[in-house]
Structure 1
Amino acid sequence: MNLRYIDWIWHVRGQLMLAPGQSNAQAFDRLEPLFGQAGTSHARTGDALTFTKTAQAAQDRMSVFDRGVLWIESGMAGPVLRYTLVSRALLFCFLAPLLFLAFGQLEIGLAKFEKPPVEAAKGKPDKDDTVVPLNPVDKFLGAPAPEKPKKDDKDGPGHKKKASPTAAYVFAGIFVALYLIGRVLEDRLVKRLFWQSLNA
């Protein structure tokens, strides 16, 4: 399978027209300060610039991207800057919902194997519902009569709660939202960042 059809998940691609009269060298000179952050290494080869990031700082405006390449081509209206950026963070946010959905299905599968509670036989009082009569000595001393146990009281510390996939679905939804917002937002932010640098 050609990864080109699915690598848009963690790749951000775009292009920008260079300012009139701006040479390739001038464009890269203006872009190069963006790759002078701590944890970033870059190299210029002809009309291309490649970079990689390791342990990038949070204040790095391109910290979401781990590596990428920028190059300049001749277009119909003039030179065009093109770029392809790779983000493991976007890939993680895309795969995380699938993982949580799998956990949710696992919870549902485990719930099916849980032993159903034993129903009380018809006409027979439940032992837990019977009230033990008060001892004559306690009654003489004025002790209160014991109350009938509530259903909630039967679920003691040893009671096992039924498995529920709700939490897994909630986390899956959170990561879906994070991916959709991040995928659109980072695309626009990096494009604006490159445009501002080229036209500073």
Structure 2
Amino acid sequence: MNLRFLEWIWHVRGSVALPSDASRDAVFDKLDPVFRQTGTSFDRVGDTLVFRKRDQAAQDKMSVFDEGVLTLEQRASGPVLRYDLVSRALLYCFLAPLLFLAVAQLTILLSAHQKAVAEAAEKAGTAPKKPEKKVFPLNPIDKALGAPAPEPPKKKGKDKKADDAKLPSPTPAYVFAGIFAVLYVVGRILEDRLVNALFRKRVSAA
């Protein structure tokens, strides 16, 4: 499988137009403060800047990215800054819903298995009998004080519903899958726009 078709999941790519008279050194000098952050190392070779981040600080505006490449290119429309950034956080947020969906499916299978075993045991008469709840009559003093009469034992249908409620539920797994799916979609769109705005602001600074 060609991973390039899947790289959009954790790669953020884009470009920023540069002034026609912008020099290579001037552009990289303006971008220099972006990479002068704790846990960030970078190298400049010609028209390319390569950076890596490790244990990056939360206040780092590019903390979500772990590495990346920025390249200056000359196009027909003028010079541009092209970037390709890698984020493990985005990858983990994309994979998390798949993991929780798998957990939900396993929970459903486990619940179905436990229910089938219980029903088979009940039909075979080998299921452990539940102790019957005894209802004790009210004594005369409680009656005189107006105490409510004890509730009769629950019917078999209600007990079955209670037993079903005790089975493992896939709902929490579905909830977490939904949360991480939303986090990925929002983060993927938001980080794309934020990093583009950051580079655009830096290269256009006086």
TM-score greater than 0.5 by the shorter chain? yes
User: Is the alpha carbon distance of 1:127 and 1:91 closer, same or farther for their aligned partners in structure 2, counting shifts above 3 Å?
Assistant: closer
Distance in 2 (CA, whole Å) between partners of 1:190 and 1:25 is 21
Q: Is the deviation greater in 15-24 or in 44-53? A: 15-24
Report 1:81-96 matches (<5 A).
81-96=81-96
The aligned residue for residue 151 of structure 1 is 154
Moved over 4 A (4+): 143-146, 152-155
The aligned residue for residue 122 of structure 1 is none
Distance in 2 (CA, whole Å) between partners of 1:81 and 1:186 is 17
Are positions 1:162 and 2:164 aligned together? no
The aligned residue for residue 64 of structure 1 is 64
User: Is the alpha carbon distance of 1:70 and 1:147 closer, same or farther for their aligned partners in structure 2, counting shifts above 3 Å?
Assistant: same
Conserved 8 A contact 2:136-2:150: no
Conserved 8 A contact 1:132-1:146: no
The aligned residue for residue 78 of structure 2 is 78
Conserved 8 A contact 1:35-1:42: yes
Distance in 2 (CA, whole Å) between partners of 1:176 and 1:32 is 34
How many residue pairs get matched? 187
Distance in 1 (CA, whole Å) between partners of 2:182 and 2:131 is 51
Shift of 1:131: 3.0
The aligned residue for residue 123 of structure 1 is none
2:192 to 152, 162, 187: 187
The aligned residue for residue 41 of structure 2 is 41
The aligned residue for residue 104 of structure 1 is 104
Identical amino acids, percent of aligned pairs: 53
Are positions 1:25 and 2:30 aligned together? no
* 3-state DSSP of counterpart to 1:128: coil
The CA deviation string for residues 67-102 of structure 1, in whole angstroms up to 9 with x for no partner, is 000011110022111110000000000000000001
Q: Which has the higher helix share?
A: 2
Report 1:103-142 matches (<5 A).
103-114=103-114, 115-116=118-119, 118=122, 128=132, 131-132=135-136, 139=139, 142=141
Distance in 1 (CA, whole Å) between partners of 2:154 and 2:64 is 52
Distance in 1 (CA, whole Å) between partners of 2:31 and 2:134 is 81
The aligned residue for residue 2 of structure 1 is 2
Q: Specify the code of the residue in structure 1 equivalent to 2:108.
A: I
* 3-state DSSP of counterpart to 2:169: coil
Q: Specify the code of the residue in structure 2 equivalent to 1:167.
A: P
User: Is the alpha carbon distance of 1:159 and 1:100 closer, same or farther for their aligned partners in structure 2, counting shifts above 3 Å?
Assistant: closer
CA RMSD of aligned residues (A): 2.8
The CA deviation string for residues 1-58 of structure 1, in whole angstroms up to 9 with x for no partner, is 1111001000000011111211111111111110000010111011100000011111
Are positions 1:175 and 2:170 aligned together? no
Shift of 1:154: 7.2
Distance in 2 (CA, whole Å) between partners of 1:103 and 1:35 is 40
User: Is the alpha carbon distance of 1:98 and 1:133 closer, same or farther for their aligned partners in structure 2, counting shifts above 3 Å?
Assistant: same
Distance in 1 (CA, whole Å) between partners of 2:34 and 2:131 is 75
